[in-house]
Amino acid sequence: MAKRFELIVFDWDGTLMDSTGAIVASIQAAATDLGIEPPTDERASHIIGLGLIDALRHALPDLPSERYQDVALRYRQHYMARDHDLLLFDGAAALIEELTAAGHILAVATGKTRKGLDRAFEVSGLGPRFQSSRCADECHSKPHPQMLEELMDEFGVEPELTLMIGDTTHDLLMARNAGVAALGVAYGAHPREALEAEAPLYCAANVAELAAWLRQQA
């Protein structure tokens, strides 16, 4: 069967790596360290996928902007203390191998920094499977379409041949803004009903469902 999508772009946290809990706990711990009222689980998980400063602006709306860097530093310290314990979702590595074997171009568009993504690539062992990636400290934060636009330009792939996969509405809105199709995954940061409100092609309950859809439809 001919490929429907030539370029498949994955979000990282909450889509391939089971890191939502660690991110939420690290944001809350950073706020507590600095005597700031920590955000609720719901508020902290909603900002996953954004660049860190944009995320803090949403998670801690009453925080003076001059304190963002202090919170960001404490967040990174807490998260880095946990990240070697983080695991890929069951089936994620096999899915990436299958898509690679099928000849798709694979890329990552993430709210992580370049340093953070490189570290995640190394810990997970998946780095060599992705031909390119874009991070929040290199591009506008999601849902701005810059990450996807740059990836499509890099490989000369048209929007109609590009698919974005992510666990947040930020991912789905970025895809819409770039004019590309999107899949939601309901096992990450944002609830299914929020993802489905953005009308993705499909919303998978787990990696096995995601793999089955891609096998038949991508």
Cross-strand pairs, 48? 50
pTM reported for the whole predicted model: 0.92
Domain ranges for the chain: 7-19+87-217, 20-84
Active site residues: 11, 13
> Domain 20-84 maps to which CATH number in 3.30.70, 3.40.630, 1.10.150, 3.30.470?
1.10.150
Alpha helices in 65-217 (DSSP H): 68-82, 92-101, 114-124, 146-155, 169-178, 192-196, 207-217
pLDDT tens for each residue of 77-121: 998 898 778 899 999 999 999 999 999 999 999 999 999 999 999
Q: Which of 51, 15, 199, 28 is nearest to 134 (CA)?
A: 51
CB-side exposure of 16: number of CA atoms within 13 Å? 27
On the question of a common fold for 7-19+87-217 and 20-84, the answer reads: no
pLDDT tens for each residue of 137-184: 999 999 999 999 999 999 999 999 999 999 999 999 999 999 999 999
CATH H-level superfamily of 7-19+87-217: HAD superfamily/HAD-like (3.40.50.1000)
